[in-house]
Structure 1
Amino acid sequence: MPLFVEAWMMSVQNFPFGMGPQSWLTHEPITDAYREGAKIGHPHNMYLMWAAEYGWLVIGLILVVAGQAIRNFLIRRTAILESGNTSEAIIFAGITASISGALFHGSVSAVFMAPGSMLVGILVLSAFWGLLYRSEARPKHGILKKRVKKSYCWLVIMVLLLAWFGWMRETIIYYEAMKADEEQYMEGSGGGIMPRFWYHGNFPRFEELKQ
Protein backbone atom coordinates (compact mmCIF):
# COMPACT_ATOMS: atom_id res chain seq x y z
CA MET A 1 0.00 0.00 0.00
CA PRO A 2 2.79 2.58 0.71
CA LEU A 3 3.95 2.15 -2.90
CA PHE A 4 0.44 2.82 -4.22
CA VAL A 5 0.07 5.92 -2.05
CA GLU A 6 3.48 7.20 -3.10
CA ALA A 7 2.64 6.72 -6.78
CA TRP A 8 -0.69 8.50 -6.31
CA MET A 9 1.01 11.47 -4.66
CA MET A 10 3.53 11.59 -7.49
CA SER A 11 0.74 11.65 -10.06
CA VAL A 12 -0.77 14.83 -8.59
CA GLN A 13 2.51 16.71 -8.06
CA ASN A 14 2.67 17.99 -11.62
CA PHE A 15 -0.90 17.27 -12.69
CA PRO A 16 -1.69 16.23 -15.39
CA PHE A 17 1.85 15.69 -16.74
CA GLY A 18 3.39 13.52 -14.03
CA MET A 19 6.96 13.73 -12.78
CA GLY A 20 8.67 12.38 -15.88
CA PRO A 21 10.10 9.06 -17.10
CA GLN A 22 11.96 7.04 -14.46
CA SER A 23 11.04 9.57 -11.79
CA TRP A 24 9.97 6.64 -9.60
CA LEU A 25 13.68 5.82 -9.30
CA THR A 26 14.99 9.34 -8.93
CA HIS A 27 12.34 11.37 -7.08
CA GLU A 28 12.61 12.44 -3.48
CA PRO A 29 10.15 10.44 -1.33
CA ILE A 30 6.88 12.29 -0.78
CA THR A 31 5.11 10.21 1.86
CA ASP A 32 6.56 9.24 5.22
CA ALA A 33 5.59 5.59 4.78
CA TYR A 34 7.60 5.31 1.57
CA ARG A 35 10.51 7.32 2.97
CA GLU A 36 10.83 5.04 5.98
CA GLY A 37 10.03 1.75 4.24
CA ALA A 38 11.96 -0.58 1.96
CA LYS A 39 12.23 0.85 -1.55
CA ILE A 40 11.99 -2.37 -3.52
CA GLY A 41 10.23 -2.54 -6.84
CA HIS A 42 7.30 -0.35 -7.75
CA PRO A 43 3.52 -0.29 -7.25
CA HIS A 44 1.92 -3.30 -8.89
CA ASN A 45 -0.46 -1.18 -10.87
CA MET A 46 0.93 -0.16 -14.23
CA TYR A 47 -1.71 2.49 -14.85
CA LEU A 48 -0.95 4.20 -11.56
CA MET A 49 2.76 3.90 -12.34
CA TRP A 50 2.22 5.55 -15.73
CA ALA A 51 0.13 8.28 -14.09
CA ALA A 52 2.97 8.95 -11.64
CA GLU A 53 5.63 9.22 -14.34
CA TYR A 54 3.79 10.25 -17.52
CA GLY A 55 0.76 11.92 -15.99
CA TRP A 56 -2.99 11.53 -16.04
CA LEU A 57 -3.00 13.11 -19.49
CA VAL A 58 -1.46 9.92 -20.88
CA ILE A 59 -3.98 7.83 -18.96
CA GLY A 60 -6.71 9.94 -20.55
CA LEU A 61 -5.30 9.24 -24.01
CA ILE A 62 -5.21 5.53 -23.21
CA LEU A 63 -8.88 5.71 -22.24
CA VAL A 64 -9.68 7.41 -25.55
CA VAL A 65 -8.00 4.56 -27.43
CA ALA A 66 -9.83 2.05 -25.23
CA GLY A 67 -13.12 3.77 -26.01
CA GLN A 68 -12.43 3.55 -29.74
CA ALA A 69 -11.54 -0.13 -29.33
CA ILE A 70 -14.85 -0.77 -27.57
CA ARG A 71 -16.70 1.00 -30.38
CA ASN A 72 -14.87 -1.10 -32.98
CA PHE A 73 -15.60 -4.22 -30.95
CA LEU A 74 -19.34 -3.55 -30.95
CA ILE A 75 -19.35 -2.94 -34.71
CA ARG A 76 -17.36 -6.11 -35.36
CA ARG A 77 -19.53 -8.11 -32.97
CA THR A 78 -22.68 -7.01 -34.77
CA ALA A 79 -21.20 -8.00 -38.14
CA ILE A 80 -20.23 -11.46 -36.87
CA LEU A 81 -23.64 -12.08 -35.31
CA GLU A 82 -25.39 -11.05 -38.52
CA SER A 83 -23.17 -13.36 -40.57
CA GLY A 84 -24.06 -16.35 -38.38
CA ASN A 85 -20.46 -17.59 -38.42
CA THR A 86 -20.29 -19.52 -35.14
CA SER A 87 -16.62 -20.51 -35.36
CA GLU A 88 -15.52 -16.93 -36.00
CA ALA A 89 -17.69 -15.75 -33.11
CA ILE A 90 -16.02 -18.22 -30.73
CA ILE A 91 -12.51 -17.21 -31.84
CA PHE A 92 -13.39 -13.52 -31.57
CA ALA A 93 -14.83 -13.99 -28.07
CA GLY A 94 -11.78 -15.94 -26.93
CA ILE A 95 -9.27 -13.40 -28.21
CA THR A 96 -11.26 -10.52 -26.73
CA ALA A 97 -11.45 -12.24 -23.34
CA SER A 98 -7.70 -12.90 -23.40
CA ILE A 99 -6.82 -9.30 -24.29
CA SER A 100 -9.26 -7.88 -21.74
CA GLY A 101 -7.87 -10.17 -19.04
CA ALA A 102 -4.32 -9.00 -19.72
CA LEU A 103 -5.30 -5.33 -19.63
CA PHE A 104 -7.27 -5.73 -16.40
CA HIS A 105 -4.43 -7.75 -14.91
CA GLY A 106 -2.16 -4.77 -15.51
CA SER A 107 -4.03 -2.89 -12.79
CA VAL A 108 -2.75 -5.30 -10.14
CA SER A 109 0.58 -6.35 -11.61
CA ALA A 110 3.64 -5.20 -13.52
CA VAL A 111 3.05 -7.22 -16.67
CA PHE A 112 3.77 -4.25 -18.91
CA MET A 113 7.08 -3.51 -17.20
CA ALA A 114 8.93 -6.64 -18.36
CA PRO A 115 10.49 -6.16 -21.82
CA GLY A 116 9.41 -9.64 -22.94
CA SER A 117 5.73 -9.08 -22.21
CA MET A 118 5.89 -5.62 -23.77
CA LEU A 119 7.33 -7.00 -27.01
CA VAL A 120 4.72 -9.74 -27.21
CA GLY A 121 1.98 -7.38 -26.07
CA ILE A 122 2.53 -4.83 -28.83
CA LEU A 123 2.21 -7.55 -31.48
CA VAL A 124 -0.90 -9.07 -29.90
CA LEU A 125 -2.59 -5.70 -29.41
CA SER A 126 -1.78 -4.67 -32.99
CA ALA A 127 -3.26 -7.91 -34.33
CA PHE A 128 -6.34 -7.46 -32.14
CA TRP A 129 -6.82 -3.90 -33.38
CA GLY A 130 -6.60 -5.14 -36.96
CA LEU A 131 -9.17 -7.81 -36.17
CA LEU A 132 -11.52 -5.15 -34.83
CA TYR A 133 -11.00 -2.98 -37.88
CA ARG A 134 -11.64 -5.46 -40.69
CA SER A 135 -13.09 -3.63 -43.67
CA GLU A 136 -16.26 -5.68 -44.02
CA ALA A 137 -17.23 -4.70 -40.49
CA ARG A 138 -17.05 -0.98 -41.20
CA PRO A 139 -19.95 1.15 -42.43
CA LYS A 140 -19.69 2.34 -46.03
CA HIS A 141 -18.67 5.96 -46.65
CA GLY A 142 -18.70 8.24 -49.66
CA ILE A 143 -15.59 9.02 -51.71
CA LEU A 144 -15.02 12.38 -49.98
CA LYS A 145 -15.23 10.85 -46.52
CA LYS A 146 -12.85 8.10 -47.58
CA ARG A 147 -10.30 10.66 -48.79
CA VAL A 148 -10.57 12.69 -45.60
CA LYS A 149 -10.23 9.56 -43.53
CA LYS A 150 -7.21 8.43 -45.54
CA SER A 151 -5.51 11.80 -45.11
CA TYR A 152 -6.22 11.69 -41.39
CA CYS A 153 -4.72 8.21 -41.15
CA TRP A 154 -1.54 9.33 -42.91
CA LEU A 155 -1.28 12.31 -40.57
CA VAL A 156 -1.61 10.05 -37.54
CA ILE A 157 1.01 7.67 -38.97
CA MET A 158 3.49 10.52 -39.50
CA VAL A 159 2.96 11.87 -35.98
CA LEU A 160 3.43 8.40 -34.50
CA LEU A 161 6.58 7.83 -36.55
CA LEU A 162 8.08 11.11 -35.36
CA ALA A 163 7.22 10.23 -31.77
CA TRP A 164 8.72 6.77 -32.26
CA PHE A 165 11.99 8.17 -33.61
CA GLY A 166 12.22 10.51 -30.62
CA TRP A 167 11.49 7.64 -28.26
CA MET A 168 14.09 5.40 -29.91
CA ARG A 169 16.72 8.12 -29.66
CA GLU A 170 16.22 8.34 -25.91
CA THR A 171 16.10 4.55 -25.66
CA ILE A 172 19.48 4.25 -27.38
CA ILE A 173 20.95 6.86 -25.02
CA TYR A 174 19.57 4.91 -22.07
CA TYR A 175 20.95 1.64 -23.46
CA GLU A 176 24.44 3.10 -23.86
CA ALA A 177 24.33 4.47 -20.32
CA MET A 178 23.22 1.11 -18.96
CA LYS A 179 26.10 -0.63 -20.75
CA ALA A 180 28.51 1.79 -19.07
CA ASP A 181 26.82 1.17 -15.72
CA GLU A 182 26.98 -2.61 -16.11
CA GLU A 183 30.78 -2.76 -15.89
CA GLN A 184 30.84 -0.85 -12.63
CA TYR A 185 27.90 -2.81 -11.25
CA MET A 186 29.45 -6.20 -12.01
CA GLU A 187 32.81 -5.16 -10.53
CA GLY A 188 31.35 -3.72 -7.35
CA SER A 189 28.39 -5.91 -6.43
CA GLY A 190 29.22 -9.45 -7.44
CA GLY A 191 25.52 -10.20 -7.22
CA GLY A 192 24.93 -11.06 -10.84
CA ILE A 193 22.28 -9.62 -13.10
CA MET A 194 18.98 -9.12 -11.30
CA PRO A 195 15.45 -9.16 -12.77
CA ARG A 196 14.90 -5.60 -11.57
CA PHE A 197 17.29 -4.21 -14.16
CA TRP A 198 17.26 -0.66 -12.76
CA TYR A 199 19.38 -1.82 -9.82
CA HIS A 200 22.30 -1.95 -12.26
CA GLY A 201 22.23 1.79 -12.91
CA ASN A 202 23.52 4.68 -10.85
CA PHE A 203 21.12 7.53 -10.11
CA PRO A 204 22.30 10.21 -10.26
CA ARG A 205 24.88 8.96 -12.74
CA PHE A 206 28.56 9.57 -12.08
CA GLU A 207 30.05 12.40 -14.09
CA GLU A 208 32.41 10.12 -16.03
CA LEU A 209 29.44 8.01 -17.16
CA LYS A 210 27.55 11.02 -18.49
CA GLN A 211 30.04 11.49 -21.29
Structure 2
Amino acid sequence: MSSLLLAKSIDERKLISVISLIGIAIGFYAFGYLFQYAIHLQYPPDAWMHTVYGFTNPRILNHAQNCLIPLLALLPMVSKDKLPLIQILSWIPLIVMYFFLFLSESRGITLSLLVSGIAGYFCFKEPMKQLIRIHGRALIVGLFLYVVLIWLIPYVLEHGFNGFRPLTDTLKTYDRLELWSTAWALTVQNPLFGVGPQQFILSTGKGPGSPHNMVFQWLSEWGVVATLCLITALLWGGISFLIGLRKRLDKKQLTQQATYVQISALWACCSAVLHAQISGVLITPMSQLMMVLVVGYCLHAHNKESVETGARVSDYSVVARTVSGLWVSLLILLSMSFFIIFYGEFIQGGYPISIPFEPMAPRFWQNGAFQLNWSL
Protein backbone atom coordinates (compact mmCIF):
# COMPACT_ATOMS: atom_id res chain seq x y z
CA MET A 1 0.00 0.00 0.00
CA SER A 2 2.90 2.34 0.73
CA SER A 3 4.37 1.60 -2.70
CA LEU A 4 1.02 2.32 -4.37
CA LEU A 5 0.80 5.69 -2.61
CA LEU A 6 4.39 6.52 -3.51
CA ALA A 7 3.78 5.56 -7.15
CA LYS A 8 1.48 8.56 -7.59
CA SER A 9 4.20 11.13 -7.00
CA ILE A 10 7.72 9.79 -7.55
CA ASP A 11 9.57 10.07 -10.87
CA GLU A 12 13.18 9.81 -12.11
CA ARG A 13 14.14 13.24 -10.84
CA LYS A 14 12.69 12.69 -7.38
CA LEU A 15 14.18 9.20 -7.12
CA ILE A 16 17.64 10.55 -7.94
CA SER A 17 17.12 13.29 -5.34
CA VAL A 18 16.30 10.68 -2.70
CA ILE A 19 19.30 8.56 -3.71
CA SER A 20 21.51 11.67 -3.55
CA LEU A 21 20.29 12.35 -0.02
CA ILE A 22 21.01 8.74 0.95
CA GLY A 23 24.43 9.06 -0.67
CA ILE A 24 25.22 12.09 1.48
CA ALA A 25 24.22 10.11 4.58
CA ILE A 26 26.47 7.24 3.48
CA GLY A 27 29.35 9.70 3.05
CA PHE A 28 28.95 10.96 6.61
CA TYR A 29 28.68 7.39 7.85
CA ALA A 30 31.91 6.52 6.02
CA PHE A 31 33.65 9.44 7.71
CA GLY A 32 32.42 8.18 11.09
CA TYR A 33 33.60 4.67 10.29
CA LEU A 34 37.09 5.92 9.39
CA PHE A 35 37.14 7.83 12.68
CA GLN A 36 36.27 4.65 14.54
CA TYR A 37 38.84 2.74 12.55
CA ALA A 38 41.57 5.27 13.42
CA ILE A 39 40.88 4.59 17.10
CA HIS A 40 40.39 0.81 16.90
CA LEU A 41 42.92 -0.57 14.44
CA GLN A 42 42.21 -4.18 15.35
CA TYR A 43 38.89 -5.99 15.04
CA PRO A 44 39.17 -9.29 16.95
CA PRO A 45 36.77 -12.08 15.98
CA ASP A 46 34.65 -11.63 19.11
CA ALA A 47 33.94 -8.03 18.07
CA TRP A 48 33.19 -8.83 14.44
CA MET A 49 29.51 -7.87 14.70
CA HIS A 50 30.54 -4.38 15.75
CA THR A 51 32.97 -3.65 12.92
CA VAL A 52 30.15 -2.09 10.94
CA TYR A 53 29.29 0.07 13.89
CA GLY A 54 25.77 1.21 14.59
CA PHE A 55 24.24 -2.05 13.29
CA THR A 56 23.38 -4.91 15.63
CA ASN A 57 24.07 -7.23 12.72
CA PRO A 58 25.95 -6.41 9.47
CA ARG A 59 23.31 -8.38 7.57
CA ILE A 60 20.84 -5.55 8.19
CA LEU A 61 23.07 -3.35 6.03
CA ASN A 62 23.63 -6.16 3.50
CA HIS A 63 19.91 -6.53 2.91
CA ALA A 64 19.58 -2.84 2.04
CA GLN A 65 22.60 -3.06 -0.28
CA ASN A 66 20.51 -5.04 -2.77
CA CYS A 67 18.70 -1.83 -3.65
CA LEU A 68 21.38 0.68 -2.72
CA ILE A 69 24.24 -0.61 -4.87
CA PRO A 70 22.41 -0.61 -8.23
CA LEU A 71 20.88 2.81 -7.57
CA LEU A 72 24.01 4.49 -6.21
CA ALA A 73 25.67 3.93 -9.60
CA LEU A 74 23.31 6.61 -10.92
CA LEU A 75 25.08 9.35 -8.96
CA PRO A 76 28.32 9.33 -11.02
CA MET A 77 26.23 9.31 -14.19
CA VAL A 78 24.08 12.34 -13.34
CA SER A 79 27.06 14.34 -12.02
CA LYS A 80 29.09 14.26 -15.25
CA ASP A 81 28.30 17.91 -16.02
CA LYS A 82 28.80 19.09 -12.44
CA LEU A 83 31.86 20.58 -10.78
CA PRO A 84 34.91 18.26 -10.55
CA LEU A 85 34.57 18.08 -6.76
CA ILE A 86 30.95 16.96 -7.05
CA GLN A 87 31.96 14.36 -9.63
CA ILE A 88 34.53 12.92 -7.23
CA LEU A 89 32.15 12.96 -4.27
CA SER A 90 29.45 11.21 -6.31
CA TRP A 91 31.60 8.07 -6.38
CA ILE A 92 32.02 7.83 -2.59
CA PRO A 93 28.65 6.22 -1.66
CA LEU A 94 29.03 3.39 -4.20
CA ILE A 95 32.66 2.77 -3.23
CA VAL A 96 31.71 2.70 0.45
CA MET A 97 28.96 0.15 -0.22
CA TYR A 98 31.41 -2.15 -2.01
CA PHE A 99 33.93 -1.69 0.80
CA PHE A 100 31.34 -2.79 3.37
CA LEU A 101 30.33 -5.64 1.09
CA PHE A 102 33.87 -7.01 1.37
CA LEU A 103 34.03 -6.18 5.08
CA SER A 104 30.86 -8.07 5.98
CA GLU A 105 31.78 -10.93 3.63
CA SER A 106 28.23 -11.40 2.41
CA ARG A 107 28.11 -14.19 -0.13
CA GLY A 108 24.38 -13.81 -0.73
CA ILE A 109 24.40 -10.16 -1.79
CA THR A 110 27.44 -10.70 -4.00
CA LEU A 111 25.82 -13.65 -5.77
CA SER A 112 22.44 -11.93 -6.19
CA LEU A 113 23.98 -8.75 -7.59
CA LEU A 114 26.14 -10.75 -10.00
CA VAL A 115 23.35 -13.02 -11.29
CA SER A 116 20.81 -10.21 -11.68
CA GLY A 117 23.48 -8.03 -13.34
CA ILE A 118 24.28 -10.75 -15.88
CA ALA A 119 20.58 -11.23 -16.61
CA GLY A 120 20.21 -7.47 -17.05
CA TYR A 121 23.13 -7.42 -19.48
CA PHE A 122 21.47 -9.98 -21.76
CA CYS A 123 18.22 -7.97 -21.69
CA PHE A 124 19.72 -4.47 -22.08
CA LYS A 125 23.25 -4.80 -23.44
CA GLU A 126 24.12 -1.24 -24.42
CA PRO A 127 22.75 0.60 -21.32
CA MET A 128 24.15 -2.08 -19.01
CA LYS A 129 27.67 -1.65 -20.41
CA GLN A 130 27.91 1.87 -18.98
CA LEU A 131 26.43 0.79 -15.65
CA ILE A 132 28.83 -2.17 -15.41
CA ARG A 133 31.81 0.12 -16.06
CA ILE A 134 30.81 2.32 -13.13
CA HIS A 135 30.26 -0.67 -10.84
CA GLY A 136 33.56 -2.20 -11.91
CA ARG A 137 35.55 0.92 -11.06
CA ALA A 138 33.83 1.38 -7.70
CA LEU A 139 34.32 -2.29 -6.85
CA ILE A 140 38.06 -2.11 -7.58
CA VAL A 141 38.50 0.96 -5.37
CA GLY A 142 36.38 -0.59 -2.60
CA LEU A 143 38.47 -3.76 -2.73
CA PHE A 144 41.68 -1.73 -2.59
CA LEU A 145 40.48 0.14 0.50
CA TYR A 146 39.47 -3.13 2.12
CA VAL A 147 42.88 -4.69 1.51
CA VAL A 148 44.71 -1.62 2.83
CA LEU A 149 42.54 -0.83 5.86
CA ILE A 150 41.55 -4.31 6.98
CA TRP A 151 44.50 -6.45 5.92
CA LEU A 152 47.62 -4.39 5.29
CA ILE A 153 47.61 -1.78 8.08
CA PRO A 154 46.80 -4.24 10.91
CA TYR A 155 49.49 -6.60 9.56
CA VAL A 156 52.13 -3.84 9.40
CA LEU A 157 51.23 -2.84 12.96
CA GLU A 158 51.66 -6.49 13.98
CA HIS A 159 47.98 -7.03 14.75
CA GLY A 160 47.85 -10.03 12.45
CA PHE A 161 44.84 -10.74 10.26
CA ASN A 162 42.14 -10.44 12.89
CA GLY A 163 40.30 -7.89 10.79
CA PHE A 164 38.52 -10.60 8.83
CA ARG A 165 37.08 -14.00 9.54
CA PRO A 166 39.15 -17.09 8.73
CA LEU A 167 38.42 -18.78 5.43
CA THR A 168 36.81 -21.72 7.18
CA ASP A 169 34.31 -19.42 8.86
CA THR A 170 33.71 -17.56 5.63
CA LEU A 171 32.72 -20.75 3.85
CA LYS A 172 30.42 -21.84 6.67
CA THR A 173 26.79 -20.78 6.64
CA TYR A 174 23.50 -21.73 8.24
CA ASP A 175 22.20 -25.11 7.23
CA ARG A 176 19.55 -23.77 4.86
CA LEU A 177 18.23 -27.23 4.08
CA GLU A 178 17.39 -27.79 7.74
CA LEU A 179 15.64 -24.42 7.97
CA TRP A 180 13.68 -25.05 4.78
CA SER A 181 12.72 -28.52 5.99
CA THR A 182 11.38 -27.03 9.23
CA ALA A 183 9.42 -24.41 7.30
CA TRP A 184 7.93 -27.06 5.03
CA ALA A 185 6.91 -29.19 8.02
CA LEU A 186 5.11 -26.18 9.51
CA THR A 187 3.39 -25.61 6.16
CA VAL A 188 2.15 -29.19 6.02
CA GLN A 189 0.82 -28.92 9.57
CA ASN A 190 -0.85 -25.53 8.98
CA PRO A 191 -1.44 -25.27 5.22
CA LEU A 192 -4.23 -22.70 5.04
CA PHE A 193 -3.17 -19.83 7.32
CA GLY A 194 0.28 -20.90 8.49
CA VAL A 195 1.51 -20.55 12.08
CA GLY A 196 1.26 -16.76 12.14
CA PRO A 197 3.62 -13.86 11.31
CA GLN A 198 7.06 -14.01 12.95
CA GLN A 199 6.32 -17.39 14.54
CA PHE A 200 8.91 -19.47 12.68
CA ILE A 201 11.46 -18.83 15.43
CA LEU A 202 9.23 -20.51 18.01
CA SER A 203 9.51 -23.75 16.05
CA THR A 204 13.29 -23.79 15.68
CA GLY A 205 14.41 -23.27 19.26
CA LYS A 206 17.40 -21.02 19.73
CA GLY A 207 18.59 -20.04 16.28
CA PRO A 208 17.70 -18.10 13.10
CA GLY A 209 14.44 -16.18 13.21
CA SER A 210 13.42 -16.95 9.63
CA PRO A 211 13.74 -19.80 7.10
CA HIS A 212 16.12 -17.63 5.03
CA ASN A 213 13.82 -18.05 2.05
CA MET A 214 10.91 -15.74 1.37
CA VAL A 215 8.70 -18.42 -0.23
CA PHE A 216 9.15 -20.85 2.66
CA GLN A 217 8.62 -18.01 5.13
CA TRP A 218 5.34 -17.04 3.49
CA LEU A 219 4.23 -20.67 3.32
CA SER A 220 5.04 -21.47 6.94
CA GLU A 221 3.89 -18.19 8.53
CA TRP A 222 1.12 -16.96 6.20
CA GLY A 223 -0.14 -20.15 4.55
CA VAL A 224 -0.56 -21.45 1.01
CA VAL A 225 -3.35 -19.09 -0.06
CA ALA A 226 -1.47 -15.93 0.87
CA THR A 227 1.75 -17.28 -0.66
CA LEU A 228 0.08 -18.00 -4.01
CA CYS A 229 -1.34 -14.48 -4.05
CA LEU A 230 2.03 -12.92 -3.23
CA ILE A 231 3.98 -14.97 -5.78
CA THR A 232 1.38 -14.24 -8.48
CA ALA A 233 1.58 -10.51 -7.80
CA LEU A 234 5.38 -10.64 -7.74
CA LEU A 235 5.68 -12.48 -11.06
CA TRP A 236 2.98 -10.43 -12.74
CA GLY A 237 4.52 -7.15 -11.66
CA GLY A 238 8.09 -8.12 -12.56
CA ILE A 239 7.28 -9.56 -15.99
CA SER A 240 4.95 -6.66 -16.84
CA PHE A 241 7.62 -4.10 -15.97
CA LEU A 242 10.28 -5.97 -17.97
CA ILE A 243 8.06 -6.22 -21.06
CA GLY A 244 6.99 -2.59 -20.72
CA LEU A 245 10.58 -1.42 -20.37
CA ARG A 246 11.61 -3.34 -23.48
CA LYS A 247 8.79 -1.70 -25.43
CA ARG A 248 9.69 1.78 -24.17
CA LEU A 249 13.30 1.28 -25.21
CA ASP A 250 12.38 -0.11 -28.64
CA LYS A 251 10.07 2.85 -29.30
CA LYS A 252 12.74 5.27 -27.97
CA GLN A 253 10.26 6.79 -25.52
CA LEU A 254 12.81 7.23 -22.73
CA THR A 255 15.57 9.74 -22.23
CA GLN A 256 19.04 8.42 -21.49
CA GLN A 257 18.68 9.27 -17.81
CA ALA A 258 15.26 7.60 -17.54
CA THR A 259 16.68 4.51 -19.25
CA TYR A 260 19.49 4.14 -16.73
CA VAL A 261 17.15 4.80 -13.79
CA GLN A 262 14.57 2.23 -14.86
CA ILE A 263 17.16 -0.45 -15.61
CA SER A 264 18.89 0.19 -12.27
CA ALA A 265 15.55 -0.04 -10.44
CA LEU A 266 14.80 -3.37 -12.13
CA TRP A 267 18.31 -4.57 -11.23
CA ALA A 268 17.69 -3.60 -7.60
CA CYS A 269 14.38 -5.47 -7.46
CA CYS A 270 15.80 -8.62 -9.07
CA SER A 271 18.79 -8.59 -6.73
CA ALA A 272 16.56 -8.26 -3.66
CA VAL A 273 14.28 -11.10 -4.80
CA LEU A 274 17.22 -13.41 -5.51
CA HIS A 275 18.89 -12.62 -2.18
CA ALA A 276 15.58 -13.24 -0.42
CA GLN A 277 15.76 -16.88 -1.51
CA ILE A 278 18.72 -17.51 0.81
CA SER A 279 18.42 -14.79 3.46
CA GLY A 280 15.85 -12.86 5.50
CA VAL A 281 15.80 -9.80 3.22
CA LEU A 282 12.07 -9.11 3.38
CA ILE A 283 11.89 -9.00 7.20
CA THR A 284 14.54 -6.31 7.69
CA PRO A 285 13.03 -2.83 8.15
CA MET A 286 15.85 -1.05 6.31
CA SER A 287 15.47 -3.24 3.22
CA GLN A 288 11.69 -2.91 3.42
CA LEU A 289 11.96 0.88 3.25
CA MET A 290 14.26 0.66 0.23
CA MET A 291 11.92 -1.77 -1.51
CA VAL A 292 8.94 0.51 -0.93
CA LEU A 293 10.90 3.28 -2.65
CA VAL A 294 12.08 1.19 -5.61
CA VAL A 295 8.82 -0.71 -6.17
CA GLY A 296 6.88 2.55 -5.88
CA TYR A 297 9.01 4.11 -8.60
CA CYS A 298 8.66 1.04 -10.84
CA LEU A 299 4.88 1.21 -10.49
CA HIS A 300 4.98 4.90 -11.39
CA ALA A 301 7.16 4.32 -14.46
CA HIS A 302 5.05 1.37 -15.65
CA ASN A 303 1.65 3.03 -15.15
CA LYS A 304 2.82 6.28 -16.71
CA GLU A 305 3.69 4.58 -20.00
CA SER A 306 0.90 1.98 -20.03
CA VAL A 307 -2.02 4.44 -19.87
CA GLU A 308 -2.36 5.59 -23.48
CA THR A 309 -5.98 6.40 -24.27
CA GLY A 310 -8.76 8.25 -22.50
CA ALA A 311 -10.95 5.15 -22.45
CA ARG A 312 -8.13 3.18 -20.92
CA VAL A 313 -7.65 5.88 -18.31
CA SER A 314 -11.32 5.68 -17.48
CA ASP A 315 -11.22 1.89 -17.19
CA TYR A 316 -8.08 2.13 -15.09
CA SER A 317 -9.77 4.63 -12.79
CA VAL A 318 -12.69 2.27 -12.21
CA VAL A 319 -10.36 -0.60 -11.43
CA ALA A 320 -8.23 1.63 -9.20
CA ARG A 321 -11.28 2.77 -7.21
CA THR A 322 -12.50 -0.81 -6.84
CA VAL A 323 -9.10 -2.07 -5.66
CA SER A 324 -8.74 0.92 -3.32
CA GLY A 325 -12.15 0.19 -1.82
CA LEU A 326 -11.21 -3.44 -1.23
CA TRP A 327 -7.91 -2.41 0.35
CA VAL A 328 -9.64 0.03 2.69
CA SER A 329 -12.26 -2.55 3.68
CA LEU A 330 -9.59 -5.15 4.30
CA LEU A 331 -7.53 -2.68 6.33
CA ILE A 332 -10.54 -1.85 8.52
CA LEU A 333 -11.30 -5.55 9.03
CA LEU A 334 -7.71 -6.38 9.93
CA SER A 335 -7.47 -3.39 12.27
CA MET A 336 -10.59 -4.50 14.13
CA SER A 337 -9.24 -8.06 14.34
CA PHE A 338 -5.91 -6.77 15.60
CA PHE A 339 -7.62 -4.74 18.34
CA ILE A 340 -9.79 -7.68 19.43
CA ILE A 341 -6.88 -10.14 19.53
CA PHE A 342 -4.44 -7.89 21.36
CA TYR A 343 -6.74 -6.03 23.75
CA GLY A 344 -6.34 -8.51 26.58
CA GLU A 345 -2.61 -9.06 26.05
CA PHE A 346 -1.25 -5.71 24.93
CA ILE A 347 -3.49 -3.00 26.41
CA GLN A 348 -3.88 -4.80 29.75
CA GLY A 349 -0.12 -5.32 30.01
CA GLY A 350 0.17 -9.04 29.44
CA TYR A 351 1.90 -8.82 26.07
CA PRO A 352 5.39 -10.40 25.95
CA ILE A 353 7.98 -8.13 24.36
CA SER A 354 10.56 -10.86 23.75
CA ILE A 355 11.04 -14.59 23.66
CA PRO A 356 12.96 -15.83 26.76
CA PHE A 357 15.54 -17.87 24.86
CA GLU A 358 16.18 -15.23 22.16
CA PRO A 359 16.59 -11.55 23.20
CA MET A 360 16.46 -10.36 19.59
CA ALA A 361 13.30 -12.30 18.78
CA PRO A 362 11.63 -11.85 16.48
CA ARG A 363 14.97 -11.28 14.83
CA PHE A 364 14.57 -7.67 13.70
CA TRP A 365 11.57 -6.46 15.70
CA GLN A 366 11.00 -5.48 19.32
CA ASN A 367 7.50 -6.96 19.55
CA GLY A 368 5.72 -9.75 17.77
CA ALA A 369 6.05 -12.81 20.00
CA PHE A 370 2.33 -13.54 19.93
CA GLN A 371 1.13 -17.01 18.99
CA LEU A 372 -1.79 -17.57 16.63
CA ASN A 373 -1.78 -21.24 15.68
CA TRP A 374 -4.20 -22.02 12.87
CA SER A 375 -3.76 -25.80 13.00
CA LEU A 376 -6.29 -27.65 10.90
Query: TM-score surpassing 0.5?
Result: yes
Higher relative contact order structure (alpha carbons within 8 Å, sequence separation ≥ 6): 2
Residue 318 of structure 2: which of 140, 143, 151 is its match? Answer: 151
Q: Could you tell me how far apart the structure 2 residues matched to 1:76 and 1:173 are? A: 45
Residue 55, structure 1, aligned to residue 55, structure 2? no
Residue 76, structure 1, aligned to residue 208, structure 2? no
Structure-1 residue corresponding to 2:115 = none
Name structure 1 gaps, 5 residues minimum: 205-211
Judge conservation of contact 1:24–1:53 (CA < 8 Å) in 2.
yes
Residue 66, structure 1, aligned to residue 234, structure 2? yes
Residue-by-residue CA offset, 1:111-162 (whole Å, 9 max, x unaligned): 111223223322332222112221xx2263463x543432221110111123
Alignment of 1:33-182 (within 5 A): 38-69=206-237, 70-83=239-252, 85-134=255-304, 137-138=305-306, 140-141=308-309, 143=311, 146-168=313-335, 170=338, 173=342, 176=346, 180-182=351-353
Letter in 2 for 1:18: G
- Structure number with larger C-alpha Rg: 2
The RMSD of aligned alpha carbons is 3.7
Name structure 2 gaps, 5 residues minimum: 1-176, 372-376
Residue 194 of structure 1: which of 342, 360, 365 is its match? Answer: 360
Q: Could you tell me how far apart the structure 2 residues matched to 1:176 and 1:114 are? A: 23
* Partner secondary structure for residue 352 of structure 2: helix
Residue 4, structure 1, aligned to residue 180, structure 2? yes
> What number of residue pairs does the alignment pair up?
188
* Partner secondary structure for residue 251 of structure 2: helix
Give the percent of matched residue pairs that are identical in Structure 1 and Structure 2: 22
* Partner secondary structure for residue 194 of structure 1: coil
Taking a change above 3 Å as real, the CA distance of residues 21 and 3 of structure 1, as seen in their structure-2 partners, is: same
Q: Could you tell me how far apart the structure 2 residues matched to 1:151 and 1:167 are? A: 24
Q: Could you tell me how far apart the structure 2 residues matched to 1:154 and 1:201 are? A: 33
With normalisation by structure 1, the TM-score equals: 0.69
Taking a change above 3 Å as real, the CA distance of residues 131 and 198 of structure 1, as seen in their structure-2 partners, is: closer
Q: Could you tell me how far apart the structure 2 residues matched to 1:58 and 1:202 are? A: 21
